[in-house]
C-alpha cells in the first residue's frame, strides 16, 4: 500500500506514519509544520519507504505516482493553537479538505478525514452517539475549529455521494500520549509539565467538566480498523472512560509525585462541560475498543 498522511508530522499523524511503515506501507508524509516540530518524524526520515513533503494542504497539490489511501489529519488541534490560528484552521478544514479529497479522487484512493468530538460542541446529549447533530456556537471563538470540521465532514460525504469516493470519517475524542507537544496547551501536557516543573496546575473553571482520554496507540488501531472496514458514516473513536478535570489533575499529581498546588482560572468561552463517546458502532462493526487504561497511558506520557 502507498499511503499519503496529510498532517503526518503532527502528534497523531507521526504515530500513524510509524505504524504504517511498520506494516510495510510506503508512506508519503505531507506537513507544513504549522503546529508540530519536524523532530516528530526525524526517526522516520532515513527510511527508504518514507517521503516527507513540506506543503500547505490549503493550496492544491498532486503527488506523483499511485496512491491507495489518503488520510487527512492536517489542522491545528489544540484549543490555544486554533484560537491563535483562526484563519489557518478554517482553511485547513475547508480548502485543505477539498484539496485532500481531490488527491484521493484523482488517484482512486480511499480517503479518511480526521474529524473531532468538537462537532458535538457543548453537547446536550450525553454520552454522544454519532446520530447526535451537536450544539455548536457557530460564531464563538471555538467555531473556527468546530465549523471547519463540520464543513469537512459535509464535503467528505458530498464526495462520497457525488463521486462515489470511498471515504471514512473518524470523530476523534481527546487523545494523548508521547510526542504530544509539552507546550501545546491541552490539559494533559499542561498538567504533566506543570507537575514535573513544580508549578501550579491550572484548572479552568471549577474542574467539574469531564473529558474521556484515549491513548494514542489505541486511537491509531481504531483508525486502521476504520480504514479497513466499510463504514462511510462518521464513527466515534475515543475512550468511554470519563473523568473530571479535577480528578485528572489529582491523578497526574500522584503519578508524578508532585507537590504542585492547584490554581483555578476562568473557564474558556464555550468550553464543553461534558464529553464522552458512545462507541457502539466501533465496538460492533470494527471490533475495536480502547485497551490502554488511563494510568498506564499517563505513565508512558510522563516518561
Question: Is 96 within 8 Å of 89 (Cβ atoms)?
Answer: no
Q: Least separation, in Å, of the C-beta of 198 and ligand NAD? A: 26
Q: Which does residue 245 bind out of ligand NAD, ligand UDP, none, counting CB within 5 to 8 angstroms by kind? A: ligand UDP
- For ligand UDP, the closer of residues 155 and 276 by Cβ is 276
Is 144 one of the binding residues for ligand NAD (CB under 6 A)?
no
Q: How far apart are CA 41 and CA 3, in angstroms?
A: 16
Active site residue 145: yes
Which grid coordinates are listed for 42?
A: 526525524
Residue 148 is classified by DSSP as H
Among 172, 211, 212, 214, interactor with ligand UDP by CB under 6 A? 211
Q: Least separation, in Å, of the C-beta of 9 and ligand NAD? A: 4
- For ligand NAD, the closer of residues 200 and 231 by Cβ is 231
Cell 471490533, located at residue: 287
Q: How far apart are CA 100 and CA 70, in angstroms?
A: 7
Q: Which does residue 204 bind out of ligand UDP, ligand NAD, none, counting CB within 5 to 8 angstroms by kind? A: ligand UDP
* Residues in region 176-195 near ligand UDP by CB under 6 A: 186-187, 190
Stretch that binds ligand NAD, among 72-80, 131-139, 263-271, 287-295 (CB under 6 A): 72-80
Q: Which alpha helices (H) appear in the chain, and where do they start and end?
A: 11-22, 79-84, 86-93, 95-107, 143-163, 187-197, 216-228, 245-256, 280-286, 294-302
- For ligand NAD, the closer of residues 167 and 174 by Cβ is 174
* Residues in region 248-277 near ligand UDP by CB under 6 A: 268, 271
Among 174, 175, 212, 236, interactor with ligand UDP by CB under 6 A? 174
Degrees, nearest 5: CA angle 226-212-255: 120
Q: Phi then psi for 115, rounded to 5 degrees?
A: -95, -160
Stretch that binds ligand NAD, among 32-40, 128-136, 248-256, 264-272 (CB under 6 A): 32-40
Which grid coordinates are listed for 130?
A: 454519532
Q: Least separation, in Å, of the C-beta of 158 and ligand NAD? A: 19
| Total residues in contact with ligand UDP, by rule CB under 6 A | 13
Instruction: Write the CB contacts of 190 (distance below 8 Å, at least 6 apart in sequence).
Output: 201, 202
Ramachandran region, residue 102 (left: φ > 0; alpha: ψ -120 to 50; beta: rest): alpha
How many residues are present in the chain? 303
Q: How far apart are CA 106 and CA 104, in angstroms?
A: 6
Which grid coordinates are listed for 114?
A: 480526521
Binding site for ligand UDP (CB under 6 A): 79, 174, 186-187, 190, 202-204, 209, 211, 245, 268, 271
Using CB under 6 A, list all residues that contact ligand NAD.
7, 9-13, 31-36, 56-58, 73-77, 92, 96, 114, 116, 172, 174-175
What residues act catalytically?
145
Amino acid at each position: 500500500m502507498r499511503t499519503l498522511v496529510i498532517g503526518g508530522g503532527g502528534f497523531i499523524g507521526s504515530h500513524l506514519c510509524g505504524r504504517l511503515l511498520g506494516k510495510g506501507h510506503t508512506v508519503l508524509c505531507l506537513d507544513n509544520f504549522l503546529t508540530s516540530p519536524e523532530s516528530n518524524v526525524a526517526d522516520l526520515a532515513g527510511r527508504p519507504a518514507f517521503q516527507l513533503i513540506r506543503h500547505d494542504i490549503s493550496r492544491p497539490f498532486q503527488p506523483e505516482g499511485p496512491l491507495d489511501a489518503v488520510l487527512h489529519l492536517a489542522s491545528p488541534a489544540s484549543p490555544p493553537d486554533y484560537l491563535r490560528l483562526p484563519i489557518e484552521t478554517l482553511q485547513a478544514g475547508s480548502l485543505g479538505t477539498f484539496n485532500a479529497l481531490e488527491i484521493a479522487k484523482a488517484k482512486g484512493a480511499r480517503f479518511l478525514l480526521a474529524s473531532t468530538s468538537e462537532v458535538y460542541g457543548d453537547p446536550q446529549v450525553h454520552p454522544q452517539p454519532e446520530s447526535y447533530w451537536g450544539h455548536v456556537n457557530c460564531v464563538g471563538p471555538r467555531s473556527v475549529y468546530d465549523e471547519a470540521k463540520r464543513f469537512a465532514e459535509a464535503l467528505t460525504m458530498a464526495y462520497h455521494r457525488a463521486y462515489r469516493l470511498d471515504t471514512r470519517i473518524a470523530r476523534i475524542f481527546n487523545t494523548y500520549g508521547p510526542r504530544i507537544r509539552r507546550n501545546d496547551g491541552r490539559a494533559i501536557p499542561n498538567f504533566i509539565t506543570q507537575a514535573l516543573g513544580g508549578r501550579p496546575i491550572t484548572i479552568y473553571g471549577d474542574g467539574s467538566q469531564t473529558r474521556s482520554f484515549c491513548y494514542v496507540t489505541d486511537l491509531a488501531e481504531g483508525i486502521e480498523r476504520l480504514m479497513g472496514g466499510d463504514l462511510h458514516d462518521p464513527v466515534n473513536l475515543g475512550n468511554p472512560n470519563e473523568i473530571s478535570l479535577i480528578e485528572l489533575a489529582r491523578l497526574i499529581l500522584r503519578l508524578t509525585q508532585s507537590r504542585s498546588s492547584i490554581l483555578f482560572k476562568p473557564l474558556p468561552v464555550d468550553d464543553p462541560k461534558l464529553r464522552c463517546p458512545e462507541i457502539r458502532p466501533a465496538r460492533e462493526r470494527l471490533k475495536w475498543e480502547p485497551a490502554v487504561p488511563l494510568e498506564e497511558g499517563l505513565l508512558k506520557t510522563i516518561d
